Structure 1
Amino acid sequence: MRTTVAVIGGGYGGITVAKELDGVTDVVLVEPRDTFVHNVAALRGLTDPGWTDRMFLPYDRLLERGTIIRDRAVRVDETSVWLRSGERIEAGYIVLATGSSYPFPAKVDVEDSAAAKERYHAAREALARAGRVLLLGAGPVGLELAGEILAAWPDKSITLLDPGSEIVSGGYSAEFRAELRRQLDALGIRVVLGARLRQQPPSEAGEYATFTATLDSGERLTADIWFRCFGGVPDTGYLAGSLVSARRPDGRLAVTDELRLPGQSRVFALGDVTAIPEAKQASAATRHASVIAANIRALLQGDGEPAAYRPGTPGIVLPLGPDGGATYAPDWEDYVDAATQEHIRRHAKERGDGLLELGILDAELTSQLKGRHLNVEEYAQLLNADPAGA
């Protein structure tokens, strides 16, 4: 009898761990959406109709031996998964990979891809009509969305508003933020820090409707459309039994170095649901997945020491449209081959701006790494899918 591994959630980490274990044991992937959603491309999917279809990739060729069940897990304990449909799955191992929700357009809250595409098309039409755009949040999503909007409509006026004292909070350097601010200033994007709205805008996010909002400073801002660019919420409300004790007040889950829930030998968690103090990025979820897959293989085979996960140095690739942005990567040499290293060094020498010595890759290198292709081919290959136009 082969052991069943239930993977709950078909996001970046979920598909990675399911794929790695597919040839080892019986994998059951539970996911309510009808397609994988490449959220890395979601903001361009809003502004560029050519990308709206490309960000939705089918699941049907992900697994050769395993099973994909289109359903939602509503209760998960130490050994069982109960689905919305009423079905119950008994599993020897469980991987919690349900990710998080986030305000549109960075993510959508509908399970049907056709309905999701309609929402992006409707919001794009509204955005096209707007001359003045207000973005609440000056983190990575806010900055990236501002860059995408200006790449599509260079004449729009954009204001980024954030109550914090700096853009892109986290363990990044002041020089990295300075490079981003330089590019934002060059694009004409206004950044207002240390301020918030006295009241929420009267219109819905993504709706065309001119309004005037008042800041706590008394300043009045007029915009035609607005989007919320903060507020990720982990999806862990389905936990039951002894698993509940792993949930922290913010909804994230405590995990051990082996990415197990504390006190559990066969229940693992990855990605956005974990309380690991690191940026919640697709790359982190896939690294978690590889550690979990290795540990489950070792448990199934009854040999080998468990692998431990160690967060890396904070890093981020942050495009500002297809051709702008900056990358913070102090350990960049660890992630690229020798030919790419030489290309990066030669490019940096030609520019002579000293950014590379600070662990910063400029707009051109950021565009090559992510800005133009948004890593869609990488995940299409993992899913054995053929993204339109990729």
Structure 2
Amino acid sequence: MSKQLQNIVVLGGGAAGAGTALAIVNSSNFNPSTHRLILVTPRSFFVLLPAVIRASVTSEGDLEKRILMPYGDFLKGKGEVKVGKAVSFTSAEAGGEVTLESGEKLEYSVLVLALGSIWQGGALNIPDDETEAVESLKTWRANFQKATDIVLVGGGSVGIEYAGEILDFFPNKRVTLVHNQDNLLNNTYPERFRQAALARVRKTGTEVILGDRLEELEPSSVGTVRTKKGRTIHADLVIPTWGARPNTELVRKSLGSEALSLTGHVKVLPTLQLASHPRIFAVGDIIDWEEQKQAAKTSAHAGVAAPNVLAVATGASLTKEYKGSMEGISITIGRSAGVSYVGILWGIILGDWFTSFIKGKGLLIDMTRSHLGLPPPAL
């Protein structure tokens, strides 16, 4: 590696990767005459994942033109966006090397893993090619428009938001939401908020089945699915809406399974370094930290990782530690309804007006574009 220019490589261009890359190059401690930042991402565009739910249900607003955001020069000439897929990396005392699918090799002084999550089925599995991504959204819209009986499997925020979007745009369809717990969401949130979410989604006409699960996701020849407890549900479209899993196979392959927890998350120190690999950091959904995996938390991750990355790169002392983030969530139920929770004081619950104002109307599109400095959409 050139002694004059050392690479800081960030793998992953989602909220965590893009946000951390931006925080690094915007730091007063980043010196482009000694270090180069390279953001490696399989897509040439940033995906605003929370908005994909509505974009996969309706063509209203041409959302695909606004939520698939080309990176452009969002690093303002201080870094490079390289479209490619990492297939392995090494780790050594002075750094290591990332190998891309193309065969290209990138030496690094410091590596940041921001690999995100993998969704099983459904529209949230966005293809890497932009044309294919748009076609995928159009295909899912056609699926929803054609279906009469829609079953959503998983009653977390994704399932709730899908129910809300479908019945907002197609009020005559029948939607069933199946969740394997005794209430929606999970026990991160207080029971009274989970009850508020349940009441609000039922108000849309969604049938909610709790404490049960589907045996098969494919409808039978007569258009039904059966739950584990023996209940038969009419279905011509079944969508998995349970949580994602961490995208960490690359880490297991490169560093071994000891780098991962039993759930497949990357073990990190409070500095967000990997314990046995001080020149490697991890941020976003993949870290083994007891908190809900949300894009909203990635700014706090970047606020710790970026200064620590630069400290390692320049031989300075690390000063930042991650102490966790407040739990909060806004769950839209269509364009004008929803429920929100803010985990301060006694735990504040907010309803339709707040949730619609903060998220439902604009889907955080303009805020995200402004935060990351992404170029405006093409007209």
Query: TM-score normalised to the size of structure 1?
Result: 0.87
Is 1:177 the counterpart of 2:194? The answer is yes
In structure 2, relative to structure 1, the CA distance for the partners of 1:201 and 1:280 (3 Å cut) is same
Q: Indicate the residue corresponding to 1:353 in structure 2.
A: none
Structure 1 residues 212, 237: closer, same or farther in 2, change over 3 A? same
Matches within 5 A, 1:222-301: 222-239=234-251, 240=253, 242=255, 244-301=257-314
Partner of 2:131: 114
Displacement of 1:305 in angstroms is 4.3
- Aligned match of 1:8: 11
Q: Is the 8 A contact 1:165 1:193 kept in 2?
A: yes
Q: Specify which of 328, 331, 340 is matched with residue 344 of structure 2.
A: 331
The question of whether the paired residues in 2 share the 8 Å contact of 1:46 and 1:105 is answered with: no
Deviations 1:297-317 (A, max 9, x none): 333454454201111232111
Partner of 1:255: helix, strand, or coil? coil
| Aligned residue identity for 2:135 | E
Q: Does structure 2 retain, via aligned residues, the 8 Å contact 1:74–1:83? A: yes
Structure 1 residue aligned with 2:360: 371
* 1:214 paired residue among 203, 221, 226: 226
State how far apart, in whole Å, the 1-side matches of 2:90 and 2:114 are. 14
User: Distance between the aligned counterparts of 1:223 and 1:217, measured in 2?
Assistant: 17
Matches within 5 A, 1:352-367: 358-367=347-356
Structure 1 window deviating more from structure 2 (268-277 vs 306-315): it is: 306-315
Contact 1:165-1:194 within 8 A present in 2 as well: yes
| CA deviations over 1:149-196 (Å, ceiling 9, x no partner) | 111111111100112111001311111112112212221111101112
2:180 match: 163
Change (3 A) 1:316 1:150: same
On the 8 A contact 2:177/2:206 being kept in 1, the answer is yes
Bigger fraction of residues in strand: 2
Q: How does 1:145-160 map to 2 (within 5 A)?
A: 145-160=162-177
Match for residue 26 of structure 1 among 33, 36, 48: 36
Counterpart residue number, 1:387: 377
Do the aligned residues in 1 keep the contact of 2:17 with 2:114 (CA within 8 Å)? yes
Pair 241,10 (structure 1): closer, same or farther in 2 beyond 3 Å: closer
Q: Supply the distance in 1 between the matched residues of 2:255 and 2:194 (Cα, whole angstroms).
A: 43
> Contact between 1:10 and 1:30, CA under 8 Å: does it hold in 2?
yes
Please name the residue that 2:56 is paired with.
46
SS in 2 for 1:218: coil
Query: What per-residue deviation string (whole Å, max 9, x for no partner) do you get for residues 132-162 of structure 1?
Result: 1100011111001111111111111110011
Cα distance in 2 for residues equivalent to 1:69 and 1:179: 44
In structure 1, C-alpha distance between the alignment counterparts of 2:37 and 2:209, rounded to whole Å: 48
Q: Deviations over 1:8-50 (max 9, x none)?
A: 0000011111112225231001111121111011101112222
- Unpaired segments ≥5 residues, structure 1: 204-208, 333-356
Q: Per the alignment, in what secondary structure is the counterpart of residue 62 of structure 1? A: coil
Query: Is the contact between residue 39 and residue 106 of structure 1 (CA under 8 Å) also seen in structure 2?
Result: no
The one-letter amino acid paired with 1:219 is R
Contact 1:5–1:26, Cα closer than 8 Å, also in 2: yes
1:128 to 124, 131, 145: 145
SS at match of 1:5: strand
- Contact 1:270–1:288 under 8 Å retained in 2: yes
Q: Distance in 1 between matches of 2:241 and 2:113?
A: 25
Task: Name stretches of at least 5 consecutive residues in structure 2 with no aligned partner.
Answer: none
Aligned AA for 1:26?
R
Task: Map Cα deviations across residues 366-387 of structure 1 (whole Å, 9 max, x no partner).
Answer: 1111111111112212143213
Distance 2:148 2:118 in 1: 29
